[in-house]
Amino acid sequence: MKPLQSENHHQFLSTHFLDQNPLGFAYFSGNELLLSYANSNFYKFLGLQNSVIGNVAKSIFEKTQLLEIYSMITKVYHCNNSSKEMKVVGLKNEDKGQTDFLEIIVSSVISPDNNSVEGVSVAIKEIVEQDYNENILKNSISNFDYIVSNSLASTIVLTGIDPIIEVANQKMVEFLGKGNSLSGNRLFTVFPELETENFLKLYKKVYVDKVEQEEKEFKVDYFYNNILYSKFLHLLLRPKLNNNREVVAIIISLIDITDLIETREKLRKNENLLKAFLEHVPVSINVLEGENFEYKLSNSLTDQIWGHHVEIGSTVKDTVSYIKDRPIYKDLQSVFKTGEQIERKEHQFLDNNGNIKYVNYILQPIKDEENKVEYILTLGYDVSNEIEYKNKLEANEKRFKILADFMPQFVWTSDKDGVVTYFNRNWYEVFGLDDNIDLDKNFWSLLHPESLDKVRNSWMDAVRQNSTYEVEYQLVNPITNISKWYLARGKRVCNDNDETELWIGTCTDIDDFKQLQKQKDDFIGIASHELKTPLTSLKLYAQSVEINLRKQGDEKNGEVVKKMETQINKLNKLISDLLDVTKIQSGRMVLQDSIFLMEDLVAEIVEEQQMSTKTHTIILTKESAGYIRGDRDRIGQVLSNLINNAVKYSPNAKEVEVNLELIDGSAKVSIKDNGFGIPQNKIHQVFDQYFRVGSEYEQGINGLGLGLFICAEIINKSNGQIYVKSELHKGSTFCFELPILK
């Protein structure tokens, strides 16, 4: 249809658009688009009264609920040149219980004077069937051209109570996937999954009751490769009636919404997961909207942490009336204004019950596309218990420091790695130190050079074995430049998993004790040395007397002198041990190294010891262990002492086992007895100077507790190691290892 010219348009309208015309026609003129002319079919098709003549277009189409026609009119009118719009619209017919379809054609009317748009013509054509009896298929296809083929949905036209396919649009053909030859086929043959009770019920209701039916989420189950799948369809079933209101066809439109349903289900699961997360996370979470800070989201922990009940849709001022006076409100305003995150720690406030609480919180802005703050995410964590614990800890630490400062010893703590973290006031006062020193560096700087390795080794042993740290060392006073002896003891403090968190200990001045011990050792050394010479002479006299008595046949008195000689030997052994100890203490024990076969030495000592005992059999098991570099006599002294102890402390046994073997480049010697054994809590002391187990089994067994101390010193100076395995009442096994020459 060409645009109309305004010249003589009234005459043109009256001549060509009579009421008998099957089209509905109207003309709207001027900027206000007034209805200047309309024929009877225009009123009929739109359900209007002729009284609307002279009204503006917008008010007319508002009444028909077809504003899209008004949109077409205004679009065409405001074009500066010739324009035309065409569209098919549906109008609900309440009387017929169906939707009537109208083809709307809107054209501009051009003024011949200035070639501008002066009005708009509207032509309306009703899309109806002409004959539903013999020509049903023809009319269905004709209607389908208008309604179905351009439909966005998959659409199909069916006839009969047992639906037969008349026609289907391309979308339906693609959806069914059964080829293009669908017409004339039974619907359930092509789409058997639809033959369900629910669908048959829907179809029958449309066919019998002649009313439109809609199912927004119609589920269809089907098998593919023996696996059950489901599709979800949005179904619309509409009856098509003839003039006698008989159903001649049913139009079904469907949209596959499976992806939509699955997406919605995923969203639902994600939403449930998010809700579960928000409810179980140990943090208060809120989302506040706008500068009034309206709650859009809040988890239940918010009520518990902040002590105020939150209603979604309320503001923070509704929830906490006095919040405007609180720092957190000023923080909220700042975040909203600046768009910068704010984090606060240990924020103190009163809850509704008047309890003081502490919260760490973060205020995080959420911005829109224009980079303006739209929401604020708040995260809050209740740290009231932590603050209470910290306050108690600080109070306990204060009490500990007061107590430690009054102690005469040095009190110290270190971290798990041994870095000194604390000394009491006594340390600062004795060494004249200020409060800002690095304690760990200061401690190591005060250690006497001769004590450095000893302290390091003792510390590493304590850490490796999780045992008590104990060591004697010298500290040099920087004021007097005088060194003094101290005894340090430390014990680890563990967590619930027995993991070391820190060490705590004391450092006691033992310098006076050390001086007395030195005087004692000096005295013992002098006395032992002075006793050694007369004892040697006495032994020679005894041997001479014994020989003379036995020559004279006086065996009885000769035996008495022999026993005296035995006691002199024991006394000589004690004096030798005392002399060895003084040498060790003074650092004067010097080992005379030589190279020798270990198996020869062991065999020799075992033979000597077997000759000196009549109560035990010494069983030797040995293998070739190679050569040793060391003091042969001193190492033999160690082996003799250990075998002698094994015999002495197993009086009720008959055997002592000696074993020599080569292990990882070392010669290992083991001496096993079946005697009294050593309690587990005393094993770590057996190599200490003057130590004796002190059990009832040792009564009547002589000794000063020096032998094992001397053995340990000799083996350690020989770059070896010595240790014991023992169980009370089951005997002991003493072992030492020495490196072999390669």
Q: Which residues in 48-87 are b (16+ Cβ under 10 Å) and which e?
A: beeebeebbbeebbeebebeebbebbeebbeeeeebebee
Instruction: Give tens-digit pLDDT for 681-719.
Output: 888 888 988 777 765 556 557 667 788 988 999 999 999
The per-residue pLDDT for 724 is 95
Residues 268-287, mean pLDDT to the nearest whole number: 80
In this predicted structure, the answer to whether residue 5 has a pLDDT above a threshold of 50 is: no
Instruction: Give the best-scoring range by mean pLDDT among 82-91, 276-285, 614-623.
Output: 614-623
The per-residue pLDDT for 96 is 67
In this predicted structure, the answer to whether residue 151 has a pLDDT above a threshold of 70 is: no
Give the residue with greater pLDDT, 19 vs 366: 366
Instruction: Give the best-scoring range by mean pLDDT among 13-22, 122-131, 167-176, 627-636.
Output: 627-636
Residue 572, judged by CB atoms within 10 A of its CB (0-12, 13-18, 19+), counts as: middle
The per-residue pLDDT for 360 is 87
Of 83, 131, 142, 141, the C-alpha closest to 109 is: 83
Instruction: Give tens-digit pLDDT for 293-336.
Output: 998 888 877 777 777 788 888 888 887 777 777 888 899 999 99
Strand partners, 56: 34
- Number of other residues whose CB lies within 10 A of the CB of residue 431: 19
- Degrees to nearest 5, angle at CA 86 with 85 and 92: 125
Separation between Cα atoms, residue 369 and residue 78, nearest integer Å: 33
Strand partners, 494: 500
Q: Hey, what domains does the chain have and what are their CATH numbers?
A: 4-127 (3.30.450.20), 136-261 (3.30.450.20), 281-387 (3.30.450.20), 407-509 (3.30.450.20), 514-586 (1.10.287.130), 594-739 (3.30.565.10)
Q: What percent of the chain has pLDDT over 70?
A: 88
The per-residue pLDDT for 696 is 58
Instruction: Give tens-digit pLDDT for 185-238.
Output: 898 888 888 888 899 999 999 999 999 999 889 998 877 677 888 889 999 999
The per-residue pLDDT for 715 is 94
Instruction: Give the best-scoring range by mean pLDDT among 207-216, 263-272, 429-438, 505-514.
Output: 207-216
Mean pLDDT of the chain: 82
Dihedral of the alpha carbons of 38, 44, 47, 53, in degrees to the nearest 10: 20
24-29 vs 34-38, strand pairing mode: antiparallel
The per-residue pLDDT for 354 is 75
Gyration radius of the chain's alpha carbons:
55
Instruction: Give tens-digit pLDDT for 77-124.
Output: 888 777 788 887 777 777 766 667 788 888 888 887 777 888 888 888
Q: How confident is the model at residue 66 (pLDDT cuts 50, 70, 90)?
A: confident
Residues 23-50, mean pLDDT to the nearest whole number: 86
User: Within a 13 Å sphere around the CA of 365, how many CA atoms are in the beta-carbon half?
Assistant: 20
Of 28, 79, 80, the C-alpha closest to 58 is: 28
Q: What percent of the chain has pLDDT over 90?
A: 22
Give the residue with greater pLDDT, 736 vs 463: 736
Q: Supply 651's token pair.
A: 């009086």
The per-residue pLDDT for 316 is 85
Q: How confident is the model at residue 129 (pLDDT cuts 50, 70, 90)?
A: very low
Instruction: Give tens-digit pLDDT for 501-541.
Output: 889 988 988 888 888 877 777 776 666 666 666 777 777 87
Residues 140-155, mean pLDDT to the nearest whole number: 57
Residues 1-28, mean pLDDT to the nearest whole number: 56
- Degrees to nearest 5, angle at CA 579 with 578 and 580: 90
Q: Supply 444's token pair.
A: 């190591």
- Helix 511-551 to helix 555-586 angle (10° resolution) is 160
Q: What's the first-to-final CA gap in the chain, in angstroms?
A: 116
Which DSSP helix (H) or strand (E) runs through 77? helix 67-77
